[in-house]
Every structure is written in structure tokens, then in C-alpha cells.
Structure 1
Amino acid sequence: MSAAVTGVQPGEATVAPGRSVVVRVPATSANLGPGFDTLGLALSVYDELIVTALPEGELEIDVEGEGMGDVPRDGSNLVVRSIAHAFAATGRRMPGLRLQARNVIPHGRGLGSSGAAVVSGILAAQGLLAGDVEIGDETLLRLATELEGHPDNVAPALFGGLTIAWVDETGPQHKKLLVHRGVSPLVFVPDFTMSTEVARSLQPLQVPREDAVFNVSRSALLIAALTQSPELLMAATEDKLHQNYRAQAMPGTDRLVRALRAAGFAAVVSGAGPSVLVLADGPGRRLEAAELAASVSDTPWEAHMLAVDFKGGTVREYAEGAT
């Protein structure tokens, strides 16, 4: 059963105006090929958010970087809704808020930007309520999953590393694993976006039994490849459940994945796409993959040489002028 939120008195307002926290949340790549809606990996690209309590009813939102000019600056903002969700779950009244967001995670590219926004809000609420209401890891995951709809992105965003996420009768669960130091992630980000809802709509409700068995075997192998045996990554990243069905909506992504795999690189669609994740078995191989991508595609792909983030989302007290 999920850990309860402790110290709750319904309707109380306990966050004094001026209290401020800073939140840092990593990008994530979900699915990793065969691990559909189950596996996720935290990556070393971060959104940062400073949240300051204001008098009740006030709201100020400032966004820099990704989403600037597009992100809502009212109560429909996903971070604001996530903070409100956490406060409602604790029985506390939400204070007014000032949000100062510095976004680096690309939006609509399959790198967990919405999950990062949800986690940012949940962690901000945890930080603002610290010392009054303690929100444990199980509750963080539950609240984030309630907003995101599934835990495969929010689990690595919260806890870092490689996560296996599932839902049982008590709610969402996760297991964090350490990734082998020989695994070197590379992400190719295009200048076009992809809707997760559209991507999901392209998948059939039923799949052949042999395809299901195929993905079960590859998902099990992928855990071994990522934690112990990077030399198995090519075989371990094969998939028959979602990537082929979504290819028609992302022809450029499909071409790049096929070209990279034909050359021996463990390339997959990152989340719902359209970014491409390469799980290379060494830094040198990433450079080769980047050169190949530049030569085989007429789509401009921005290559990001990344590390696995092992820490996950963080929140701490913030003081003006502190670094």
C-alpha cells in the first residue's frame, strides 16, 4: 500500500509567503525499444524551477528556454496543476505561487518533458511543505502517475537511473537499477514534434502472440544488457509492439533508426518520438553514430552526447542570490 502523507490537517495553510525552493529534474527516455510503458532511463538534460510562495490567490509565471511563449502562464500550467494536486492530496491549501522556469528538455520530442513538468510540481510541493507534511517516495510516484497517466517517464525523472515501473492493486511501483558504465547514451533531436496521443492511436489494441513473446524476451535481455552486458544491446533493443506501427507518422525517425541499426548501433525511438536514442557501448561509438546520422539523413538532427542521470529529481531550499 502506498505510504500515507503524514501530518495532515485538512484546509490548513502553512506555507509562509517568501518561502522558496529550487527543483531540478532530468529528461527521460521511455520504452528503450521493447520495454513499452515499463522501462525508462534518466538522462543528463535538466529543467530547473524556482518556486516561491506568494499570498494566497496570486500567480506569477516566467519561462525561459523551451516552451517560452507557448507554455500557459495561468492555472492551466502543468507545473501549477501538479503543485495543486499535491497540496490537495495533503489537505493543505495551496499558497500563491511565483514560478521561474528554466527549461532545457525539448518539448514534444519524446524526452519526457511533460513528465518532468509533473515531477517538478510534485517535488516543489514536497519542498514547500517540508517540516510540516512529509511526502515519501511511494506517494511522490503515486501523485505523479495520477497526473501523467503511466509511470514509465515519471519514475526515472523522480529516482534517476534505469527504472522498471509497473502498477499493481496498491498503485504504481518501481525498481531502480544502476546502468553499466560502458553504456553511453546519444540522443538525436529533430526540429519537428510528435504528439504522444497521436503516436498511441496508431497502435493496435491486440498484437500477435509471437510478437508479445518476442518483446518479453527482448525486455528481459535488455535489463541484462544495460546492467551487465552492453555487448548485447543490439539484440536487446529489438521491438515488435510499437515502433513499426508508429513509423508512418515519423518517416524521418524511422529512416534514421533503420540506418543506425543496419550499421550496428542500438538505436530506438525515444518515448513516443520523434527523437532517436542510441545506447552505444562506448563513447567512441557515439561519435561514429553521429557521423553516420549526418551522412544518411536530410533531416537536421541535433546530436546530444549524454550521460545516465543516477540522482533523479532534487528539491532544496532556495535563497535569493545563492548558487
Structure 2
Amino acid sequence: MTFTVRAPASSANLGPGFDSLGLSLSLFTTLRVTRQARTEIVPLGTDLAGTPADESNYIYRAMQITARRVGRELPPVRVEIETDIPLARGLGSSAAALVAGLVAANVLLGEPLGADELLDMAAREEGHADNVAPALMGGIAVATLDKVGTHFVRLAPPEHLGVTVLIPDFELSTSKARAVLPTEYSRADTVHALSHAALLAAALATGRLDLLRHAMQDYVHQIWRAPLVPGLTDVLEGATAHGALGAALSGAGPTVLCFHDTREDTGDLHDFLSGVMRRNGLDGRVLNLPIDLQGVQVSGS
């Protein structure tokens, strides 16, 4: 028995939708899982160099979460792991790994868990749902996690909505990015966050691309994380003058996401983002990435 699991990257928050809004992007973590006599974990490629090649690997630990949930043991397997999602860049690499591992174990065990159970399990393990929901379901997700369960609405991306990402060549851990956030917010900042998150969700649901530059304003996390991401403020303040519909820190960063209209040329936006990196002494990549519509995929099972 051999099968493949492919889980996409994701971008969380999208500005004001802190821990509640995210979308799926077409970069992937891929597992090739084969039943055999003993367990082997095989990370492949330079991006995974240094990650554990044994049962302490995060993906295998995710597989064990599924097994414990259903009260069964995992059979011995060979798990080959590849990824083109850059690690610790705010593109949901850990969420993709978690989702891929949970789903792989579910397939191995005869699929005892449904999609809603997998989502709730992933959200509770990750601590929030805005990365794992898009990785599982694809598209745009509005998601919440509470004591009752994980609740989400999947939105199809509006027609002509495109994504450009600036991925700097340095890592930023989520724990470090969360550590700079305040423990309390003023009423004014809270109202600002609620109103803009609601406007952003409504704009994405109805295809109002003209509202994105206003809806993506945020005072909850981006202003506090800006010192950790050189050039972030320049992008947030200047991207719309160069063809972006709106801009946001992707997850905890340091990647920055810009929405654009796919009917328009993105050359000026790419030049602007590359210039921001150069002025701040950074190397990195500027890419147009399609929004992934499928979420996690299993083949060959």
C-alpha cells in the first residue's frame, strides 16, 4: 500500500482577521506513505535538512495524534517528506505538516475520522484555525475555535483575485512574533479590528475588490510586529500605489502578502516589493501564487 498526501501552504490573518481568516496557496508539503516492515521517516531536499529523520519528526507525531484519537496503533510505514513551503516564513508550513500527518494516519487507519473531526483536531493542536482550515479545505476560510468546536465558512475566492508574496530570506518564529503583542487592547482598537475584519470577510464573500485596501487595515498585530520585519511598514503603506489591492503580513511573517487584480500587470508591484527588500538589505523572492482551491489531497490510496 502506497499513497501520497499533499497539503497546501496558507496565509493567515490577512490584516485584521487575526486568528480567524486565512487562505490556501499553491505551495505544498507532500508525503509519500508506504506500508512496510518497520517505520522510517525520510525528509527529502535541502529545505528539510536538519529536521528529524525518526519518530520525533513533527509529521509523524501528527500521525500519532490521529491514532490516539481513534484508539489504535499506527502500522509500520515509510514516510518520505518533501516541501516547497519555506519554513518559518508565515506561510503555514507547520499547519501543512500537521494536516498532512493527520490525514495520512487517517487513511492508513481506514478513514475513521471525517473532515470536521480532522479540522477540529488540527485546530486544537495548532491553537487556532486560520491556517489549518485553508490547508484542509482550500480557498478562503473564516474560522473560529471555542470550547464547543471549530466552526468555519469556506469562501470561494472572488473572480480576478490574485496573490503576490514577498518572501524574505530569513526566518521568524511564531513564538517570537507573538511575544511582541500587547496583552490588552483599547476599546478603539478593538472596534477597529472587529469592523475591519467584518468588512474584509464581507468584501471577499461578495467580490468587492475595491474595498480590500480599506478592509485590510490592522492595529492588532502588524504594527507591533513591524520592527521584526524590515520594510513591512513600507509595503503596508505603499503597495496600493503600485497596483496592489491591499497588503498584509502573512501569518506571523516575515512574508508579506499583496492582493492584486489578475487582469492587471503586476510588474510595477514586483519592482516595488523587490526595491523594498534592497533598501532594507534583504534577499528574497517575489512570487505570484495561485490560491489553492482543493486543500489537502490524497492519491493512490
Does the alignment pair 1:225 with 2:203? yes
The match for 1:27 is: 9
Asked if the contact 1:29/1:112 (under 8 Å) is kept, the reply is yes
The match for 1:293 is: 273
Asked if the contact 2:171/2:254 (under 8 Å) is kept, the reply is yes
TM-score (norm 2): 0.93
**Matches of 2:275 and 2:106, distance apart in 1:** 47
**Matches of 1:53 and 1:139, distance apart in 2:** 25
Aligned runs of 1:230-241 on 2, under 5 Å? 230-241=209-220
Does the alignment pair 1:311 with 2:294? yes
Question: 1:283 deviation in Å?
Answer: 4.6
Q: Aligned AA for 2:188? A: E
Q: 1:283 to 1:99 in 2, by over 3 A?
A: farther
Asked if the contact 1:21/1:128 (under 8 Å) is kept, the reply is no
Asked if the contact 1:259/1:296 (under 8 Å) is kept, the reply is no
Asked if the contact 2:29/2:84 (under 8 Å) is kept, the reply is yes
Asked if the contact 1:66/1:105 (under 8 Å) is kept, the reply is no
The match for 1:15 is: none
Does the alignment pair 1:102 with 2:85? no
Does the alignment pair 1:275 with 2:255? yes
Aligned with 1:83 (options 45, 48, 63): 63
**Matches of 1:254 and 1:233, distance apart in 2:** 17
Q: Percent identity among equivalent residues?
A: 39
5+ residue gaps, structure 1:
1-18, 319-323
Question: 1:68 deviation in Å?
Answer: 2.5
Q: Aligned AA for 2:275? A: S
Question: Over the residues paired in the alignment, what is the CA RMSD in angstroms?
Answer: 1.6
The match for 1:13 is: none
Aligned runs of 1:97-246 on 2, under 5 Å? 97-130=77-110, 133-227=111-205, 228-246=207-225
Q: Aligned AA for 1:252? A: G
Asked if the contact 1:256/1:297 (under 8 Å) is kept, the reply is no
The match for 1:16 is: none
Deviations 1:18-52 (A, max 9, x none): x2221011100000000000001001111211112
Question: 1:307 deviation in Å?
Answer: 1.1
Count of paired positions: 296
Asked if the contact 1:86/1:122 (under 8 Å) is kept, the reply is yes
Question: 1:129 deviation in Å?
Answer: 1.9
Does the alignment pair 1:68 with 2:48? yes
Asked if the contact 1:183/1:226 (under 8 Å) is kept, the reply is no
TM-score (norm 1): 0.87
| DSSP 3-state at the match of 2:29 | strand
Q: Aligned AA for 2:12? A: A
| DSSP 3-state at the match of 1:46 | strand
5+ residue gaps, structure 2:
none
Does the alignment pair 1:36 with 2:18? yes
Q: 1:285 to 1:235 in 2, by over 3 A?
A: farther
Moved over 4 A (4+): 261-264
